[in-house]
Amino acid sequence: MYKQITTALLGICTYGAVMAQSTTPNTIIDGWDVLMKKCEQKNPNFRADLYEQNKQIEQKADAYMQTNTANKTTAVKEVPIVFHIVLNQSQINQLGGTSGIAERIQSQIDVLNKDFNAANTDSFLIPTAFKPLYGNMGIKFSLAHKAPDGSYSPGYEIITTTKSGFDIQSGTAGTGYYCSDAKFTSSGGADAWDTKKYINVWILSITPMGVGGVGTPPPYPAYGGTSMFPWNEQGIAISYMAFGKRTNGSQFFPLQAAIAGRTLVHEMGHFFNLFHPFGMSTMDNKTCTDDDGVTDTPLESAPTQSICPSFPLLDTCSKTFPGVMYMNHMDYSADTCRTMFSKGQAARVNVELASGGYRDQLGSDPGLIYWWSSSIENVAANNEVSVYPNPATNACTINCNDVVAKRIDIINNLGQVVHTIIPAANETILHADLGNLAKGVYIIKCTFAETTTTTKLMHY
Q: Which residues are catalytic?
A: 267
Residue 14 and residue 422: Cα distance in Å, rounded? Answer: 51
CA 302, 307, 313 angle in degrees (round to 5)? 50
Residue 344 and residue 444: Cα distance in Å, rounded? Answer: 46
Please check whether residue 311 is in contact with residue 279, taking contact to mean a CB–CB distance below 8 angstroms: no
> Is the C-alpha dihedral spanning 327, 330, 331, 332 positive or negative?
positive
Please check whether residue 234 is in contact with residue 219, taking contact to mean a CB–CB distance below 8 angstroms: yes
Angle between the N-to-C axes of helices 46-71 and 343-353, in degrees from 0 to 180, rounded to the nearest 10: 100
Residue 238 and residue 412: Cα distance in Å, rounded? Answer: 30
Residue 323 and residue 305: Cα distance in Å, rounded? Answer: 15
Paired strand residues for 199: 81
| Region at 106 (left for phi over 0; alpha for psi -120 to 50; beta for the rest) | alpha
